[in-house]
Structure 1
Amino acid sequence: MGWTEAADLIVKGMEGAIAAKTVTYDFERQLEGAKLLKCSEFGDAIIKHM
């Protein structure tokens, strides 16, 4: 796996987590109906959406 592929997976995971509104405090306060997660839980959400 090259760095580009790894970066694409991370971006895909972040986009998925944000689209699902499962985010940390900094995003949660700006997204109506978002679910607040701890940083470690947000990491798990990113991995889930990769």
Structure 2
Amino acid sequence: MIVLGIILLVIGFVASIGALWTIGIILVVIGAILWVLGAVGHEVGGRRHYW
């Protein structure tokens, strides 16, 4: 999810598409939150790791 967010950020920046930029930021933030929760040991969606 983080990688997809970064790809959308780059495409949105290069192509000057604000919607892709916004979606990319949201995906990076959500991916980072899920990654931290999984790394700390909290179960996310019934799994120890969200991927």
Q: TM-score under structure 1 normalisation? A: 0.46
Structure number with higher strand proportion: 1
The structure with the largest helix share of the pair is: 2
TM-score, with length taken from structure 2? 0.45
Return the structure number with greater relative CO, CA threshold 8 A, min gap 6: 1
